[in-house]
Amino acid sequence: MTTQHPPSRAEPVQSPWLLILGLIIAMTAWRFGAAALLPVTQDEAYYFDWARTLSWGYFDHPPGVALLGIGTWFVPGSALAARLGGLAAGTLSLIVLARLYANSGLLRRDDLTLALALLFASLPALAGGILTTPDAALMLAWALALHEAERALAGDRRRWLTVGIAVGLGLLGKYTMMLIGPILLWAILRTDPRALRTPWPYLGALLAVLVFSPNLWWNAGHDWLALRFQFGHGFALDAGALTPANGAAAKAITHSGPVTLAERAANLGAFVAGQLALWGLIALPLLAAIPRFFRRSATADPGPVPATHARPLLQTAAWFPLGFFALVSLGSEVEANWPAMYLLAAPALLARPLRGLRRWVLGAAAANLLLVTLYVYHAATAALPLPDSQNRILRETHGFAALAAVAAGLPGPVYADRYQLTAMLRFYQPELAAGQWPGLTRPSEYLVGQIAPRVEPNAQREAFWIITQHPQPPAVGNFTSDTMRTFFDCADQGLVETAAPPCARPLHTWFLHHYRPDRPDRPDGSAPPPTEQLSNFFQH
């Protein structure tokens, strides 16, 4: 017989759902407007290129993000169309999390709206709600897994089956979904340990493996390519890039993280500062509310928030990703977004301590929204007088459409040295058979040969172009660079071909190097084939 754990909740004064629905619609409308205005970013273009050739795995990630990008099938070159899958995932996440918060005890309208404001207005949520990245698939699956786990802990143990399906889907989105395993186990042990005497949690785990198994099969057939790359990336086992000087072999994978105690402490401090920065201006009321977290009762309302059955689940879901990556930061560099899954559970825990600071929280959330809106507008228009150090968004998005148009008009094949530039050329000119020339920078999906024809340097016989940001032409065996064209991309003038910079601080300087073949019988000096370079990249 299934044990019931009815949550203890404060009696709602009025139904919150009309207001919540309005908030979700408003949030989604803002995301659609921003997604239509913001030009495509370089990593997005890379993922959208995957969507043109769907597979169970890719060099960098599992296939979830490619599936979200299938909108690019219908309107090639449109950032909004390509982002539709990610926007849909973001809206579903909001709906699922609103239900999770309510089921966990946030039935007061003010509490639920405050939690949604915290959820929506952190900087990862604002940016992630627009951009299509592997995190979009991860966050939806993480939200679904938490929602179904809460229902299972509330008494419906069969919901561990849907938890397993959500976990499997999350693993198809991003491998960090595996961190939810210890969270779910701890929640069962604390809330419903008798569930471990039933088949449901184990069947759920089996379903997770079955759903994830196509990507495991793909990895097994590709020398565990994606798993090895992500493991090395996450634990600072970074391979050196192939240099234009040798163009032949990758440096061995070595540990590149901190070594001394001071370096580890600095890394940990940077990690903590990065997590505070993710909240933007909301960090100010959060810091002001710290004393409230140590009081037994923050208000006169006696109702526990979250409910007893959901508390271990939400607390662990908030703290475990932070603790795990804090430990990782002691040995390697950690990107600020890696533990961002905690931001899905944290609002349910923060709503009660922040009740007395509600106006400050909502004001900070509105300020975050305004700042990100202005930043998106700047990315589309270059209208704001920002210093060069704050113009990363322009360097991510500006000038690539014009460069792709130039590349489409070049005689002969066109290649780029970096995968990001290759992706941007292919996004804006889908008919352009551009590729990444192997051996110049770190390998990517382009060298696997799934999404674009694989470059075979030894088989190349005709003249071609390589686009790079380096004036020195890369050394390419059997070929000599005989022409260089220089293009400057300025925020106020666009792309200009000239010998000298037409503005004080160009956003980009691109060099188009033309190569002609040397003697066809030259016996050596050629770059190794891409398969050998991928092997070298992972060789210890």
Report the alpha-carbon distance of residue 69 to residue 73 in Å, rounded. Answer: 8
- Decide: 136 and 84 in contact? Cβ < 8 Å: no
Q: Which of 187, 182, 180, 185 is nearest to 165 (CA)?
A: 180
Residue 6's identity, in one-letter code, is P
Q: Where are the domains of the chain?
A: 17-215+277-375, 399-538
Q: Is 123 exposed, middle or buried (0-12, 13-18, 19+ CB in 10 A)?
A: buried
Report the alpha-carbon distance of residue 192 to residue 153 in Å, rounded: 6
Beta strand 414-416 with 464-468 is: parallel
Report yes or no: 425 and 432 within 8 Å, Cβ to Cβ: yes
| The two structure tokens encoding residue 238 | 């970074």
Per-residue pLDDT of the chain (540 residues; tens, 9 = 90+): 444 454 444 444 456 888 899 999 999 999 999 999 999 999 999 999 999 999 999 999 999 999 999 999 999 999 999 999 999 999 999 999 999 999 999 988 899 999 999 999 999 999 999 999 999 999 999 999 999 999 999 999 999 999 999 999 999 999 999 999 999 999 999 999 999 999 999 999 999 999 999 999 999 998 888 888 887 665 544 433 333 333 333 333 444 566 688 888 998 999 999 999 999 999 999 998 887 666 644 444 444 567 889 999 999 999 999 999 999 999 888 898 999 999 999 999 999 889 889 999 999 999 999 999 999 999 999 999 888 888 899 999 999 999 999 999 999 899 999 999 999 999 999 999 899 999 899 899 999 888 888 888 887 788 999 999 999 999 998 899 999 999 999 998 899 999 899 998 999 999 999 999 986 544 444 445 544 455 544 444
Axis-axis angle for helices 42-51, 419-428 (nearest 10): 70
Q: What is the pLDDT of residue 229?
A: 85
Return the HEC string of 197-261: HCCHHHHHHHHHHHHHHHHHHHHHHCCCHHHHHHHHHHCCEECCCCCCCCCCCCCCCEECCCCCH
pTM of the predicted protein model: 0.88
Instruction: Evaluate the CA torsion angle 115, 117, 123, 126 in order and state its sign.
Output: positive
Task: Give the type of residue at 33.
Answer: G
CA geometry: angle 13, 125, 78, nearest 5 deg? 125
Beta bridge partners of 446: none
